[in-house]
A and B are shown apart, each in its own frame.
Chain A
Amino acid sequence: MPNTKHLEDLTIQVRRDILRMVHKVNSGHPGGSLGCTEFLVSLYNEIMVRKEGFDMDGIGEDLFFLSNGHISPVFYSVISRAGYFPVEELNTFRLLNSRLQGHPTTHEGLPGVRIASGSLGQGMSVALGAAQAKKLNRDNHLVYTLHGDGELQEGQNWEAIMYAAGKKVDNIICTIDLNGQQIDGATDEVLPMGSIKAKFEAFGWVVIDIEEGNNIEAILKGMAKAKSNTGKGKPVCVLLKTMMGNGVDFMMHTHAWHGKAPNDEQLAKGLAQNPETLGDY
């Protein structure tokens, strides 16, 4: 197991970025962003094979697609700190003329982004296309995705889930952020989905559970297991159990911070709980 100190430090710094970004423009989605911080930090800095620089085709490297585009704060922070664009640009999040739109897009040419997302349920199909392009190109790298659990209520996902297994797309690892929350409340109340694990398995996927989705060591271990299951004729799903708002105590155990920004006082409190590690932007 690698030394995770750097990943822990980066996680704390990304949390600060998220809080400051949404606070500045008084909009955005901190809850789900904070819940997926450990995962995206680990993915970009330990798990994925990435080339220097950015080109759209991404031949010869692993690719990542964010399907639940509303957690753009964590995505922007992680990819800027992974070197795709200057960290200072996080200052422009959601402002006029920014490349950091409310939901990620390729339209403004932001390096690190390969598809627009935000209208939910479309990312898996796109990722499947990219995975099949990799096969045609004899490119032995993987495609990773992240989806919200509420997002699975969109029917297009199930077209994609059926297709991936039926067509043996085995160079893809789709991670579902199981935080159990969506805008109107708990997923179990808004639209009970039953066992997501049983559903993916019934559709023919290999399913890996990461019970502690906010624990970096657990994420690295689970993702290594997921990776070892690729190339065997089946798509791989990771069920990542996370806590919305993780790392900021008053944002945890509630869905209230799904799409709400902290005020000045709340920002100070959240930042105090996450002291600067690698330097603010």
Chain B
Amino acid sequence: MKTYTYTEKKDTRSGFGAGLAELGRTNPNVVALCADLVGSLKMEKFIEENPERFFQIGIAEANMMGIAAGLTIGGKIPFTGTFANFSTGRVYDQIRQSIAYSDKNVKICASHAGLTLGEDGATHQILEDIGLMKMLPGMTVINTCDYNQTKAATIAIADYHGPVYLRFGRPVVPIFTPEDQKFEIGKAVMLTEGTDVTIVATGHLVWEALEASKVLFEKGISAEVINIHTIKPLDEEAILKSVAKTGCIVTAEEHNYLGGLGESVARVLALNNPTPQEFVATNDTFGESGIPSQLMDKYGLNSAAIVEKSLSVIKRK
């Protein structure tokens, strides 16, 4: 079994900041907007190097989304930055009308997604954002798993024309994907090949899935772990090919089971190859205050939960 190790942990939001800084040097059309969270979004480098291409909007997210839409008229490629909660739910209609329906080339970059925002609690944690964004016609939805992948995704979406929701997070997590990776929107990444169960994971749960696969291996179970960084458009072929081999699947995400990756996968399976599936996701609930790792344990978003769901789904084959 292919195993993954790491030597360093970093937050995915820093990957975004590094990617944005690189875009500032390489693409003169890229502009950035922020609603009073520059430090949290790691946008300092871009701002320092390109002050004229940065727009500090203040605490006014609706205005930020509208201004971003307007900046595309004139050929700019706007990257908006705020927490995932304020990037989606708070401004859903602005995104719907002024960005998605208007076909505007805005990149909505959302940090502090999910439970791992931590101590601020449920007012700031969002577990519904993937669902909100994937339901918008024409919206691309990406949730990256580590620093390197977030940096690569940030750079890649500038070259794609159309609205994109890029979701990342606050805590430091292992860096296990290659620094020089080519990020292909809509293309799943095979991490470990296996024959007994498919585990498709997104965001922070990808590392947990790899950890789970090691435990499963010790139990004599061969797990195939696939990193689904793009939830929409979904790499249906990769999923169907894998379940044709394994016959069962576990989906893992830091999101409500309603509206998330799991539901998208279930639809693909229902239409093409009905397959037993288990969900590692939050169970239609809000979050709460706590240390990120405690929250992930309490809400069952960790490698132990992936192992448990894998064992149950194998029994349903």
Contacts and interface: CB of A to CB of B under 8 A. Distances in A.
Interface of A: 56-59, 63, 105-107, 114-119, 122-134, 136-137, 139, 155-156, 159-160, 162-163, 166-167
27 contacts: A57-B73, A105-B102, A106-B103, A115-B102, A119-B93, A119-B97, A122-B66, A122-B98, A123-B66, A125-B98, A126-B66, A126-B67, A126-B98, A128-B63, A128-B70, A129-B69, A129-B78, A133-B72, A133-B73, A133-B74, A133-B76, A137-B74, A156-B62, A156-B66, A156-B94, A159-B60, A160-B63
Contact of B69 (A58, A115, A131, A167): A115
A128 B68 CA distance: 9
Contacts of B159: none
B101 interface: yes
Contact of B63 (A106, A125, A136): A125
B71 A116 contact: no
B70 A159 contact: no
Given A122-B66, A122-B97, 7 more contacts: A58-B73, A58-B74, A114-B73, A125-B62, A131-B70, A136-B74, A162-B60
Contacts, number: 115
Given A107-B102, A116-B101, A136-B52, A124 B66 contact: yes
B137 to A, nearest CB: 9
Contacts of B63: 125, 128, 156, 159-160, 163
Contacts of B75: 57, 59, 133, 137
Interface in B102-153: 102-104
Interface of B: 31, 52-53, 55, 57-58, 60, 62-76, 78, 93-94, 96-98, 101-104
B95 to A, nearest CB: 10
Given A126-B67, A160-B66, A132 B55 contact: yes
Q: Which 7 A-B pairs have the closest CB atoms?
A: A129-B70, A125-B66, A133-B74, A159-B63, A159-B60, A129-B67, A126-B70
Contacts of B94: 122, 125, 156
Given A133-B76, A136-B52, A125 B70 contact: yes
Contacts of A137: 74-75
A161 to B, nearest CB: 9
A126 B102 CA distance: 11
Given A122-B66, A125-B65, A156-B94, A133 B71 contact: yes
A160 B58 CA distance: 11
Contacts of A160: 63, 66
| From B57, B67, B68, B75, residue with most partner A Cβ within 10 Å | B67
Among A107, A129, A155, A167: residue with most chain B CB under 10 A: A129
Given A57-B75, A156-B63, A117 B97 contact: yes
Contact of A132 (B67, B93, B97): B67
